[in-house]
């Protein structure tokens, strides 16, 4: 896929997903936020950058712990929703900026901590994105990545159905692959924790915008998997009270930029 086509897919998907994404993730207790806070170890004096900030959930969460947070996203509609979310949350120490994750519009060594959630599986070049996160972090600064991490043996099938669900998805990395990216970037890994993240399949599809017919293809894939009792799609699909429930494996990685 060309970078221009991928950018177009990102703009299309996340312009339409801005509101459903905010509703799905922004107004309920989310254990991943606490895990990210633990990995970041933010102090009240810290400057934080939230890369691919989406509707501002992570930015506003960290704003209650840091001196200031900058939320950056490629999609104007997401930034508009983030400003609304900021107002709803009543935090003032956040600013928003449009920009690319592979060419961050900030000076080197500016931030005490750089965070991102559910973005790496959308990056065409995750190594470049991580190198940019490292560049703008101060010496000794933290870099926190939270993303889905399918097992290697189901990774191909996982990515297949996720691309059907969201055409802007590129490739979800395994836990060892993200750790290897950190090592290749010269970062010190200080923590990692993998946790289950449960979703209702129909709710997930309702907040996504698959191509015509692909939602039914996804349903058929999960129906077949549940019928035979396998986990080839990588999310432990099962039927509960007439609905399909899935559990994403999500990891929170804490890295440090070596001084």
Topology, domain 3-197+248-257: Rossmann fold (3.40.50)
List, in sequence order, every residue forming a beta bridge with 4; answer none if it has no partner.
Answer: none
pLDDT for 3 beyond 80:
no
Question: Could you read off the pLDDT of 146-195 as tens digits, one per residue?
Answer: 999 999 999 999 999 999 999 999 999 999 999 999 999 999 999 999 99
Task: Output the CA–CA distances (angstroms, integers) from residue 200 to 117, 240, 244, in the order listed.
Answer: 20, 10, 6
Supply φ then ψ for residue 257, to 5 degrees. -80, 115
* Contact indicator for 48, 115 with CB cutoff of 8 Å: yes
pLDDT tens-place string over residues 11-68: 777 777 778 777 777 666 688 999 999 999 999 999 999 999 999 999 999 999 999 9
How many Å apart are CA 235 and CA 245, to the nearest integer? Answer: 9
Query: What's the length of the chain?
Result: 259
3-state helix, strand, coil in the chain (%, to 5): 45, 25, 30
Name the residue with higher pLDDT: 1 or 151. 151
| 256 has pLDDT over 90 | yes
Q: Specify which residues 103 forms β-bridges with.
A: 100
* pTM as predicted: 0.94
Provide the token pair at 190: 């200080």
Q: What angle do CA 234, 238, 240 make, to 5 degrees?
A: 150
Where are the chain's structural domains?
A: 3-197+248-257
């Amino acid at each position: 896929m060309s970078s221009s086509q991928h950018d177009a897919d990102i703009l299309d998907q996340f312009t339409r997903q801005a509101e459903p994404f905010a509703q799905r993730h922004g107004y309920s207790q989310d254990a991943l936020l606490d895990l990210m806070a633990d990995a970041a170890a933010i102090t009240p004096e810290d400057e934080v950058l939230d890369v691919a900030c989406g509707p501002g959930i992570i930015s506003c969460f960290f704003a209650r712990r840091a001196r200031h947070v900058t939320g950056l996203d490629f999609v104007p509609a997401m930034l508009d929703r983030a400003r609304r979310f900021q107002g709803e949350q009543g935090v003032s120490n956040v600013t928003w900026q449009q920009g690319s994750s592979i060419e961050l519009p900030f000076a080197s060594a500016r931030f005490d901590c750089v965070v991102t959630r559910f973005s790496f599986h959308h990056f065409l070049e995750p190594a470049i994105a991580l190198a940019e996160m490292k560049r703008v972090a101060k010496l000794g600064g933290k870099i926190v990545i939270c993303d889905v991490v399918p097992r290697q043996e189901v990774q191909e099938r996982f990515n297949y159905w996720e691309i059907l669900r969201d055409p802007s998805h590129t490739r979800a990395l395994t836990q060892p692959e993200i750790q290897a990216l950190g090592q290749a970037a010269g970062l010190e890994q200080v923590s990692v924790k993998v946790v289950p993240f449960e979703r209702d399949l129909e709710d997930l599809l309702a907040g996504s915008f698959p191509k015509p017919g692909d939602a039914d293809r996804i349903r058929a894939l999960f129906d077949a998997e549940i019928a035979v009792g396998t986990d080839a799609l990588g999310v432990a699909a099962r039927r509960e009270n007439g609905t399909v429930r899935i559990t994403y494996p999500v990891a929170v990685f804490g890295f440090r930029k070596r001084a």
